[in-house]
Amino acid sequence: MKLSALQQSYLGRRSNSFRSSGPLDSSSDGAFKSPAAVFWLVLHGLSCLISLLLGFRFSRLVFLLLSTSSTYTSPFHSPTELAKTLDIRSVIPADPVGNVPLPFPNKTATNSRVVVGRHGIRIRPWPHPNPVEVMKAHRIIERVQTEQRLQFGVKDPRKIIVVTPTYVRTFQSLHLTGVMHSLMLVPYDLVWIVVEAGGVSNETASLIAKSGLRTIHVGFNQRMSNSWDGRHKLETKMRLRGLRIVREKKLDGIVIFADDSNMHSMELFDEIQNVKWFGAVSVGILASSANIDETVVEKRGEEENPRMPVQGPACNVSNMLAGWHTFNTLPFAGKSAVYIDDRATVLPRKLEWSGFVLNSRLLWKDGDKPEWMKDIDTLDGDIESPLDLVKDPSVVEPLGSCGRRVLLWWLRVEARADSKFPPRLRNSNNRSLTESMRLDCERILFFDFDNSGSVSLARWIIDPPLEITVPSKRTPWPDTPPELPSHEKPVIGIQEPIIKHTTKTRTSRSKRRSKRKHDETRTDRRTTGFDKTLQN
């Protein structure tokens, strides 16, 4: 809004401050050298020289001492810099010209509290967030969002019944915690049915107890096999067990199958509220493999990003269900994983259970339900795909704008065979200290038993703290130094010194909507640095 300050305006500004009530002086036109102007020029030059010698702006000090009238004072808490010395000037505007006898208000401009001029920048002694207030602000945000949901969101939301098959293994807490946190964020009523292979265990129980959700934890009397095929079959049986619980307890809501290693988006839970009886959503398949980088890079050197395969309903132009997108297993023929700890690609089935949702009334023994739903008591576990639950697959409702939106992602990642996951309570012997664990993605040596030898719960505890850390072979950050000493404060270039007012760059902090990878890696780097310092 402003052009650069002209010399005349500067002189004019200064002369205003020393004139309490003067006539209108058009000092803006022309450059007339009156003695007063020359005097101010000389004074200005003198102040500049003195400031050069002293190192701060001398003229401010003079003004502070000389300024008499002040209609407006303000307290200030400022850092030690002298440059922020308060400089109070009052500019009393001249009365408007034109004595009109009309009922024109006589401008007593001295009534105004607001003055033009240099004001101090008020900074409170501790300019940092107050945690109490941050919590209050979050409650306000929550309340506003609840109101938004009431007004624009789903009307009459139904309860969500989540069926999860799981079993105790190395990565169980990793996967289950992910699902748990997603479910804790769901804004609707929730019931979580956890079916565990091998019976109810303390590990799983303690894990899901942290969620605060209403959970139904049942055991399934069969141990999980170590082949993917066997695992899929057992999981199907466990899901049917969960559906039987829904029938027994006559739970009313929408049943969704959340496998413990899947990733769910929050929009999924909003979208499934639209289901009437039996619906299907699109599932993105993250077929993982440790070798996938090399194979992919060899084959398709020129292709930018291999597309993620998606399983789900396919619609024709009139948005009616026309068929199904399934997973194409041909490229992986012969190279897929057979055993759970194989390093090859883990393939999903043709249609994954997690892509289907159903109204729980379909499972009740009595009540009005469509006649195309089979009774689950008549089936017994050997179902290939969830479509076998219905007699006529065309009744399935496609959700997520007819399958075009991918709302959840399927992934199967398990630890290597030689990962010595601590055994369960009833099997534990008094194992000695030095057990080393190696996981698939990172190589961290750590010790995790307490000296007494009994294992209460299989938690990953780094106790005693790490003495040696070996950096992993491949990091996504190109400039990480090769050695990561754990005892020193990490030297990270992004921690710029916080200079008060001359720089306009922000200190890096995680931005909510940062889409740039650069920023994400910077924040990641910083958090790993903090983790390391926390251990000391």
Partner 1 sequence: MRKWFWGFLFIAFGFVCSIAAERNPRTERISGSAGDVLEDDPVGRLKVYVYELPSKYNKKILQKDPRCLSHMFAAEIYMHRFLLSSPVRTLNPEEADWFYTPIYATCDLTPTGLPLPFKSPRMVRSAIQLISSSWPYWNRTEGADHFFVVPHDFGACFHYQEEKAIERGILPILQRATLVQTFGQRNHVCLNEGSITIPPYAPPQKMQARQIPLDTPRSIFVYFRGLFYDVNNDPEGGYYARGARAAVWENFKNNPLFDISTEHPTTYYEDMQRAIFCLCPLGWAPWSPRLVEAVVFGCIPIIIADDIVLPFADAIPWEEIGVFVAEEDVPKLDTILTSIPPEVILRKQRLLANPSMKRAMLFPQPALPGDAFHQILNGLARKLPHQKIIHLKPGEKILNWTAGPVGDLKPW
Query: Which of 144, 492 has the CB closer to partner 1?
Result: 144
Least Cβ distance, residue 530 to partner 1 (angstroms):
16
Query: Which of 75, 493 has the CB closer to partner 1?
Result: 75
Query: Which of 22, 45 has the CB closer to partner 1?
Result: 22
Cα distances (Å, whole numbers) of residue 530 to 384, 448, 502, 523: 48, 22, 28, 11
One of 50, 61, 94, 174 touching partner 1 (CB under 8 A): 94
One of 44, 143, 343, 365 touching partner 1 (CB under 8 A): 143
Query: Which of 97, 468 has the CB closer to partner 1?
Result: 97
One of 40, 117, 322, 341 touching partner 1 (CB under 8 A): 117
- List binders of partner 1 among 7-36 (CB under 8 A): 9, 12-13, 16, 24, 26, 28-29
Q: Rounded CA gap, 287 and 410, in Å?
A: 8
Mark 45-84 with x for binding to partner 1 (rule: CB under 8 A) and - for no binding. Answer: -----------------------------xx-x-----xx
Q: Is the distance from CB of 455 to CB of 429 less than 8 angstroms?
A: no
Least Cβ distance, residue 154 to partner 1 (angstroms):
9
Least Cβ distance, residue 42 to partner 1 (angstroms):
23
Cα distances (Å, whole numbers) of residue 68 to 44, 218, 281, 363, 376: 20, 82, 75, 86, 91
- List binders of partner 1 among 213-232 (CB under 8 A): none
One of 55, 66, 80, 113 touching partner 1 (CB under 8 A): 113
One of 31, 114, 468, 499 touching partner 1 (CB under 8 A): 114
Query: Which of 127, 464 has the CB closer to partner 1?
Result: 127
Least Cβ distance, residue 497 to partner 1 (angstroms):
14
One of 144, 292, 338, 470 touching partner 1 (CB under 8 A): 144
Cα distances (Å, whole numbers) of residue 206 to 215, 223, 456, 458: 12, 20, 11, 10
Residues 6+ apart with CB under 8 A from 424: 168, 201, 202, 203, 458
Least Cβ distance, residue 183 to partner 1 (angstroms):
18
Our separate counts of H helices and E strands in the chain read 11, 12
End-to-end CA distance of the chain: give it in Å, rounded: 53
β-partners of residue 215 are 192
Phi/psi at 514 (5° precision): -70, 120
Q: Is the distance from CB of 322 to CB of 315 less than 8 angstroms?
A: yes
Binding to partner 1 by residue 185, rule CB under 8 A?
Answer: no
Query: Which of 123, 417 has the CB closer to partner 1?
Result: 123
Q: Rounded CA gap, 223 and 338, in Å?
A: 18
Binding to partner 1 by residue 97, rule CB under 8 A?
Answer: yes
Orientation of helix 202-209 relative to helix 172-184, angle to 10°: 30
Q: Rounded CA gap, 446 and 435, in Å?
A: 8
Query: Which of 12, 490 has the CB closer to partner 1?
Result: 12
Query: Which of 148, 475 has the CB closer to partner 1?
Result: 148
Binding to partner 1 by residue 3, rule CB under 8 A?
Answer: yes
- List binders of partner 1 among 439-478 (CB under 8 A): none
Q: Rounded CA gap, 470 and 284, in Å?
A: 34
Q: Is the distance from CB of 87 to CB of 118 less than 8 angstroms?
A: yes
Query: Which of 60, 241 has the CB closer to partner 1?
Result: 60
3-state secondary structure of 354: helix
Structure tokens of 274? 């639209």
Q: Which stretch binds partner 1 (CB under 8 A): 123-131, 215-223, 348-356, 463-471?
A: 123-131
Query: Which of 264, 412 has the CB closer to partner 1?
Result: 264
Q: Where are the alpha helices (DSSP H) in 169-322?
A: 172-184, 202-209, 228-249, 266-271, 292-299
Paired sense of beta strands 190-197 and 310-315, if any: unpaired
The length of the chain in residues reads 536
β-partners of residue 356 are 280
Q: Which stretch binds partner 1 (CB under 8 A): 43-51, 142-150, 198-206, 422-430?
A: 142-150
Total site size for partner 1, rule CB under 8 A: 74
Dihedral (C-alpha) 443, 446, 448, 449: value to the nearest 10 degrees? 130
Structure tokens of 212? 């605060």
One of 20, 69, 70, 130 touching partner 1 (CB under 8 A): 130
- List binders of partner 1 among 496-515 (CB under 8 A): 500-501, 504, 506-507, 509, 512-513
- List binders of partner 1 among 356-395 (CB under 8 A): none
Query: Which of 158, 350 has the CB closer to partner 1?
Result: 158
Query: Which of 29, 380 has the CB closer to partner 1?
Result: 29
Binding to partner 1 by residue 297, rule CB under 8 A?
Answer: no
What's the 3-state SS for 80-114? CCHHHCCCCCCCCCCCCCCCCCCCCCCCCHHHCCC
Q: Where are the alpha helices (DSSP H) in 352-448?
A: 400-403
One of 35, 52, 55, 124 touching partner 1 (CB under 8 A): 124
Q: Rounded CA gap, 370 and 209, in Å?
A: 37
Q: Which stretch binds partner 1 (CB under 8 A): 88-96, 209-217, 320-328, 342-350?
A: 88-96
The amino acid at residue 331 is P
Q: Which stretch binds partner 1 (CB under 8 A): 108-116, 236-244, 282-290, 426-434?
A: 108-116
Q: Rounded CA gap, 391 and 378, in Å?
A: 13
3-state secondary structure of 521: helix
Binding to partner 1 by residue 153, rule CB under 8 A?
Answer: yes
